[in-house]
Amino acid sequence: MKRKWQFLAALLFLSIPLLTACGTLPSLTAAPSPTANQQAGPLPTTGPPKTVVIDTDMAVDDWMAILYLLQRPEVTVEAITVVGTGEAHCAPGIRNALDLAALAGNEDIPVSCGRESPLQGDHTFPSTWRDSVDNLAGLSLAKNPNPPSSQSAVELLTSAIQDSPQKVILVTLGPLTNVSEALQSEPSLVDNLDMIYVMGGAVNVPGNLQVPGVDLDNRVAEWNMYVDPHAAAVVLDSGAPITLVPLDATNRAPLNMDFYRRLGADRTTPEADFVYQALTQMQDFINSGGYYFWDPLAAAIATDEALATVEPQTLTVIEQEGSESGRTLGSGEGSTVLVCTEADAAAFEEVFLHTLNGRLR
């Protein structure tokens, strides 16, 4: 059903992109038609069917990652859980996740949120960031008529993984609070996990807490790990198959104005147009040179590991409070996981644009 919808939708959007964009997002500008040149060349191929669950903190790059996964023909997203310790607060995070799912024609995907405090400590994202993503960066979406799931995030994660006849790919895009709680309460979940792709960590590169307006004496941690270091340690120690997509890899994929302009000239679906509108709100950040495809790259690697260079490494998460809290330290002790050390940014951008524009079959 989903594929049939996507096929019909793609035909419709390719035929009347202007009408569709205006009808779905009346407050936004119309998307231009693609040029012949933009449609030329072989399209990436998709692999076998994948069952995916997304755990997200609903920031702008999460929106891009979610729309990417919902547009993949071979991916079925069974559930979206919002992590309440991340950038979005629970109530707006749930609402925005439901509406994004509806934008992509998947309004029935169950969505719920988890606890709003870390397992340990009191680290949080800056309140100004949280307010902005809660507010959908000033954008608006058509409302999904469905209510949130009646299950908690941990219950939904657990049932979605346990009930799947196919092993599940779990894609985590925020702090690991929900996932750690689920794995602690039901350790056997690892038996039905094909892989957990974790956007987070900084292994052999600096962290990303040193940003304007944030005064933290920590140059080694990445935000998702910093916010809930104990949760990160629990997940890495769980025995689940894990592929970490740390800053080592995402630093290779900056989101720059060239890509922004390319998307502006090549957006033929509501999904692609929404990403363009979101990035329009992020132009100052993009121009600063500090914006990267963090979560979209992790989502894309979850569908195609060839986009990254992956190698096993043994890591320890520094849990103690202090200047290294949340660090993912390469060491002889700890948990051995797969780590993406490099990424092919050009290949990623190609597949991201094709996927957002519904060109894959």
Instruction: Kindly list the residues in this chain that would bind Ca ion in the complex (CB under 5 A).
Output: 57, 59, 62, 173-174, 295
For residues 13 and 291, which CB has a smaller minimum distance to Ca ion in the complex? Answer: 291
CB of 352 to Ca ion, least distance (A): 16
Pairing of strands 111-113, 242-245: unpaired
Q: Which amino acid is at 160?
A: A
CB of 162 to Ca ion, least distance (A): 25
| Helix (H) and strand (E) counts in the chain | 16, 9
CB of 37 to Ca ion, least distance (A): 33
For residues 31 and 232, which CB has a smaller minimum distance to Ca ion in the complex? Answer: 232
- Exposure on the CB side of residue 336, measured as CA atoms within 13 A: 3
Pairing of strands 328-330, 335-343: unpaired
For residues 174 and 207, which CB has a smaller minimum distance to Ca ion in the complex? Answer: 174
CB of 12 to Ca ion, least distance (A): 31
Token readout for 112 is: 């719920």
CB of 359 to Ca ion, least distance (A): 26
For residues 31 and 317, which CB has a smaller minimum distance to Ca ion in the complex? Answer: 317
| CA atoms of 318 and 53, how far apart (whole Å) | 27
For residues 57 and 266, which CB has a smaller minimum distance to Ca ion in the complex? Answer: 57
Please provide the size of the chain in residues.
Answer: 361
Sign for the pseudo-dihedral over CA of 270, 289, 251, 228? negative
Q: CB of 260 within 8 A of CB of 279?
A: yes
Query: If DSSP codes are grouped into helix, strand and coil, which group holds residue 83?
Result: coil
